[in-house]
Every structure is written in C-alpha cells, then in structure tokens.
Amino acid sequence: NAGVTQTPKFQVLKTGQSMTLQCAQDMNHNSMYWYRQDPGMGLRLIYYSASEGTTDKGEVPNGYNVSRLNKREFSLRLESAAPSQTSVYFCASSLWDSGYAMSNQPQHFGDGTRLSIL
Amino acid sequence: SQELEQSPQSLIVQEGKNLTINCTSSKTLYGLYWYKQKYGEGLIFLMMLQKGGEEKSHEKITAKLDEKKQQSSLHITASQPSHAGIYLCGALGGNAGNMLTFGGGTRLMVKP
C-alpha cells in the first residue's frame, strides 16, 4: 500500500526559479490537501481540493498555484520561488467530499518534500 | 479563526513513565484529530474524537475530549522509545468542510 506519494523528497532552488511538487494517492480518496510545516508553527493549509475539478484556498495560498489533475493527483506549483517558501511541504488526502457537511474522515499524509530556496 | 495551543512544547521522560500532552482550542472543537510524526517523516493518524467526554485508546495511548469540547488530552502509559516523535493535534472548523487547523506540536523524547 503506497498511500500518499510525494515527489521529489528534497529540492534546492534559487530565488525566482519555478517548480512543481507532485502528489498522488492510491486510496480512491475524494479530497486532497497541501500543507506547509515551519518550525514552531505547526502545519498550515495552502490549498485543498474537495473533489476532482475543484480547488480552494487555504490559510496561506499566496505564491502558490495548484492543479487537481485527476482524482489521484494534486500538484503544487511555485511560479517564482522566494526564500520565505523554504519549508517542508506535505500532501494529504481524505475520503471526505463536499457532499458531507462535516467529516469524521481522517486525512492521510505523505512523507513530505523538503524544499530550500536560496 | 481557530487557534490550537499544545502543551508542553517539548517533553523528555524516562522509559516506563506516564505522560500527558494537552491541546487547548480557542473555540469549540467539532472534531479533534491526534497525529504522530516521526522525525523527518509524514504524519500518522492516531485517533479522532468528536463527542464531549469521548475517550479512545490505541495500545498504550489514550485520548480524551473534555465535556466542554475545548480541550483534548493525550496520555501515554508506560512510555517506550518507540513513542518518541512529535505529537500534533488538528481541529475541524465549525463550518462545513474537512479543513484542519493544527497545533504547534509537542516534541517527545523517551530516554531508555
């Protein structure tokens, strides 16, 4: 069981470069999420996709774009990387979809992408 | 917006000792998730609480949501080195959706 797979695991970029973080899940989950984790700040939601074809902003969306390519894949793009975007990025997925008012479905996480921007 | 505060921020215990981690919310908790993160890895789901007074256990880990639904505690009995890691609480917001707000985490070290 692969679960949630993130690529790459590590990346170093120069300021101004662009890159796309990839995420794929094999659990037939409906919703997918991108978080960033910074020391002392826990995880903060960047964007999420409640179902295939929809995306919405989270708490810290500035400087990022996302694409829900299909039900399995949800990518995060940094168009012009900045040092403030140095972080560990986590992708997650859940069985929940927008048809439920609230959820008791846990989110399952990938192992993260460690991104450094010089 | 909802804020979650975890205490303590870090904890070092001797193997075999019991310990408790707290997660306090600024608003009513509609659902509270506990996760464990090993250093350099992703988050592993431990358990979820929704009802005030609810208590769940998994092996030697017990979590409880208080009656007023603004605080949760995670208790580990007879700690082992395998319990070491970062424990994070995540809360569902009151509006529709599955978005989680996370606490800052509690870093646990267990000394053999």
For A4-55, write each residue's pLDDT tens digit: 999 999 999 999 999 999 999 999 999 999 999 998 778 999 999 988 888 9
Q: Is A4 left (phi over 0), alpha (psi -120 to 50) or beta?
A: beta
Q: What is the pLDDT of residue A105?
A: 81
Asked if pLDDT for residue B70 goes beyond 70, the answer is yes
Alpha-carbon gap, residue A94 to B70, rounded angstroms: 24
| Max Cα-Cα span within chain B | 45
d(CA A70, CA A38): 29
Position B20 scores a pLDDT of: 98
Residue B43 has its nearest CB partner, among A98, A104, A109, at A109
pLDDT score, position A103? 63
Supply φ then ψ for residue B27, to 5 degrees.
-135, 170
Which of B98, B99, B100, B107 to substitute to test the interface with A, most A CBs within 10 Å? B98
Helices (H), chain A: none
* CA dihedral angle for residue B31, residue A2, residue B88, residue A41, rounded to 10 degrees: -110
The CA angle B17-B22-B23, to the nearest 5 degrees, is 155
CB A60 within 8 A of CB A44: yes
**A103 touches B: beta carbon within 8 Å:** yes
By C-alpha distance, the chain B residue nearest A98 is: B97
Could you read off the pLDDT of B41-67 as tens digits, one per residue?
889 999 999 888 899 998 899 999 987
CB < 8 Å to B42, chain A? 4, 90, 109-112
- What local confidence, expressed as pLDDT, does residue A2 receive? 75
Q: What is the pLDDT of residues A70-98, one digit of tens each?
A: 999 999 999 999 999 999 999 999 988 76
Q: Is B52 on the interface with A (CB under 8 A)?
A: no
Which residues of chain B are within 8 Å of residue A101 when distances are taken between CB atoms? Answer: 96
Please tell me the distance from the alpha carbon of residue A93 to that of residue A106, in angstroms, as a whole number: 8
A19 or A100, greater pLDDT? A19
pLDDT > 70? residue A1: no
Amino acid letter for position A93: S
Q: Is the peptide bond before A61 cis (omega within 30 degrees of 0)?
A: no
Q: Do B98 and A31 touch (CB under 8 A)?
A: yes
Average pLDDT over residues B74-90: 96
